[in-house]
């Protein structure tokens, strides 16, 4: 009979060496939007009103994602220009 491992395996790189890749912490505005979308999605029955609310929340989320992408793109453009 094997003994269970005493502790979980250690990650390959210590946290200080892992870099910033990975999950970005959720800010409160994102969380509120996602919870509103989840509340609508979990309601029973898909009436026209529920579908309309879901579409509206999804469009708002999509617009926010596009804005974040635009801001990131602008930052990258500025950084690349400054390195030239």
What are 21-68's pLDDT values in tens digits? Answer: 555 656 667 777 778 777 777 776 678 887 888 889 889 999 999 999
Q: Is residue 3 in a domain?
A: no
- For residue 22, being part of any structural domain is answered with no
What range does the domain containing 37 cover?
Answer: 28-83
Average pLDDT over residues 62-78: 93
Scanning 1-84, the segments in alpha helix (DSSP H) are 28-42, 48-83
26: which 2 tokens?
Answer: 């959720």
Q: What value does the mean pLDDT take over residues 8-32?
A: 62
Q: Three-state DSSP class for 4? A: coil
Question: Does 9 reside within a domain?
Answer: no
On whether the CB atoms of residues 53 and 66 are closer than 8 A, the answer is no
> Is 25 within 8 Å of 49 (Cβ atoms)?
no
Number of neighbours of residue 15 by Cβ within 10 angstroms: 7
16 secondary structure, DSSP code: G
What's the domain count of the chain?
1
């Amino acid at each position: 009979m094997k003994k269970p491992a005493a502790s979980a395996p250690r990650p390959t790189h210590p946290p200080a060496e892992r870099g910033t890749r990975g999950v970005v912490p959720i800010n409160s505005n994102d969380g509120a939007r996602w919870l509103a979308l989840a509340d609508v999605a979990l309601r029973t029955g898909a009436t026209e009103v529920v579908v309309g609310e879901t579409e509206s929340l999804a469009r708002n989320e999509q617009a926010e994602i596009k804005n974040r992408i635009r801001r990131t793109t602008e930052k990258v453009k500025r950084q690349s220009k400054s390195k030239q």
